Amino acid sequence: MLRAALTAALLVAPPSLPQTPVPRLLIEAADGSLSETTADSLPADGRADLGGLVLRVADTSVPDPPPIRERAEVVLVGGDRLRGAIAGGEDESLLFELATGILVPLPIDAIESLIFSGRLPRDPGVAVEAPSEGDRLYRLVGNRLDRVDGAVAGFSAEGVRFDGVVGASRFSWEEVAALFVEPLGDLDEGPTLTSPVAVDLADGSRLRGDLERIDRDGVELRVQPAGVPIFLRWRAVAEVSVADGRLRYLSELAPDVAVDASPFGDDLGMVWPHNIDRAVTGGPLLAGGVLWTRGIGVHAPSRLEYVLDGDYRELRGSVSLDDSVLELSARGSVKFRIEADGELLWESAIQRGGDPVRRLPTLSLEGVSRLALIVDEADERHVADRADWLRLRLVR
pLDDT digits (tens, 9 = 90+) for 221-274: 888 766 778 888 888 899 999 998 899 999 999 999 999 887 665 555 578 899
The CATH number given to whatever domain includes residue 230 is: 2.30.30.100
The sign one gets for the Cα dihedral 319, 206, 252, 246 is negative
Question: What is the secondary structure of 278-330 as a DSSP string?
Answer: S-TTSS-EEETTEEESSEEEEESSEEEEEE--S---EEEEEEEE-GGGGGSS-
Q: Identify the CA nearest to 352 among candidates 317, 318, 387.
A: 387
* DSSP 3-state of 156: coil
pLDDT for the residue numbered 329: 87
pLDDT band at 185 (very low <50, low <70, confident <90, very high): low
Give the residue ranges of DSSP H helices in 36-111.
none
> In angstroms, rounded to a whole number, what is the distance separating the alpha carbons of residues 212 and 70?
32
387 and 254 belong to one structural domain: yes
User: Other C-beta atoms within 10 Å of 191: how many?
Assistant: 10
pLDDT band at 166 (very low <50, low <70, confident <90, very high): confident
Stretch 107-133: mean pLDDT: 90
Among the three residues 244, 265, 287, which one is the final residue of a domain in this structure?
244
Mean pLDDT of the chain: 86
Query: Among 91-105, 198-212, 256-270, 332-346, which is the least confidently predicted range?
Result: 256-270
114 and 216 belong to one structural domain: no
Stretch 142-164: mean pLDDT: 93
pLDDT for the residue numbered 300: 94
Assess contact for 81 and 206: CB atoms under 8 A. Answer: yes
pLDDT for the residue numbered 186: 52
> In angstroms, rounded to a whole number, what is the distance separating the alpha carbons of residues 27 and 34?
6
259 and 391 belong to one structural domain: yes
151 and 22 belong to one structural domain: no
pLDDT for the residue numbered 1: 39
> In angstroms, rounded to a whole number, what is the distance separating the alpha carbons of residues 238 and 202?
5
255 and 326 belong to one structural domain: yes
For the chain, give percent helix, strand, coil, nearest 5: 10, 50, 45
Residue 265 lies in a domain: yes
pLDDT for the residue numbered 12: 36
The structural domain count of the chain equals: 3
Higher pLDDT, 375 or 51: 375
Residue span of the structural domain in which 125 resides: 72-180
Among the three residues 155, 180, 205, which one is the final residue of a domain in this structure?
180
268 and 350 belong to one structural domain: yes
Q: Identify the CA nearest to 257 among candidates 316, 303, 211.
A: 303
The CATH number given to whatever domain includes residue 326 is: 2.60.120.1060
**Model confidence at 54: pLDDT above 50:** yes
Residue 204 lies in a domain: yes
DSSP state of 361: P
With 0-12 / 13-18 / 19 or more C-beta atoms within 10 angstroms meaning exposed / middle / buried, residue 36 is exposed
255 and 386 belong to one structural domain: yes
Higher pLDDT, 296 or 76: 296
235 and 127 belong to one structural domain: no
pLDDT for the residue numbered 16: 41
pLDDT for the residue numbered 264: 60
**Model confidence at 212: pLDDT above 50:** yes
Q: Identify the CA nearest to 347 among candidates 366, 365, 360, 331.
A: 360
Q: Is the pTM of this model over 0.85?
A: no
pLDDT digits (tens, 9 = 90+) for 76-99: 887 788 889 999 999 999 999 988
pLDDT for the residue numbered 98: 86
368 and 305 belong to one structural domain: yes
378 and 323 belong to one structural domain: yes
Among the three residues 157, 180, 203, which one is the final residue of a domain in this structure?
180
Residue 185 lies in a domain: no
> In angstroms, rounded to a whole number, what is the distance separating the alpha carbons of residues 35 and 107?
38
Q: Identify the CA nearest to 79 among candidates 189, 224, 186.
A: 224
Q: How many helices (H) and strands (E) does the chain have?
A: 1, 33
The sign one gets for the Cα dihedral 24, 30, 32, 33 is negative
254 and 386 belong to one structural domain: yes
Residue 9 lies in a domain: yes
Stretch 364-380: mean pLDDT: 92
Assess contact for 130 and 144: CB atoms under 8 A. Answer: no
